[in-house]
Amino acid sequence: MSSFDIPKGIFLFVRNSKWTKEAVNLNRIQMLLSQIDCIDQMITIKIENERNAMNDEFFTKLVNTHQKVSLAEKHFHVKNTCSPS
C-alpha cells in the first residue's frame, strides 16, 4: 500500500451500483499517485545502487594505490640496505 491510498469513506460517491464521475476521477488520481510512488522508489534504489558502485570503485582505487605505495617503499628500503654507504 502506498502513502497515497484513498480512505474508505471517500467512495460515498457511488450511487445505484455505478461509479460517478467524481469517483472515477479519484480512482485515476489514486492510480497516478501509486505510480508516482513506485517510480520514486525505483529512482531511490537506482541512486543508492549508483552511490554504492561509486564507493566501491573509490575504495578499490584507494586500496590499489596503497598497495603500490607499500611496494615502492619496500623496494626503496631494500635498495637502500643493499647499497654501500
Least confident segment among 9-13, 26-30, 54-58: 9-13
Q: Residue range 61-85: average pLDDT?
A: 76
3-class SS of residue 15:
strand
Give the whole-angstrom CA distance, residue 32 versus residue 49.
Answer: 26
pTM of the model: 0.54
Q: How many residues are listed for the chain in this entry?
A: 85
Q: For 31-67, what is each residue's pLDDT tens digit?
A: 999 999 999 999 999 999 999 999 999 999 999 998 8
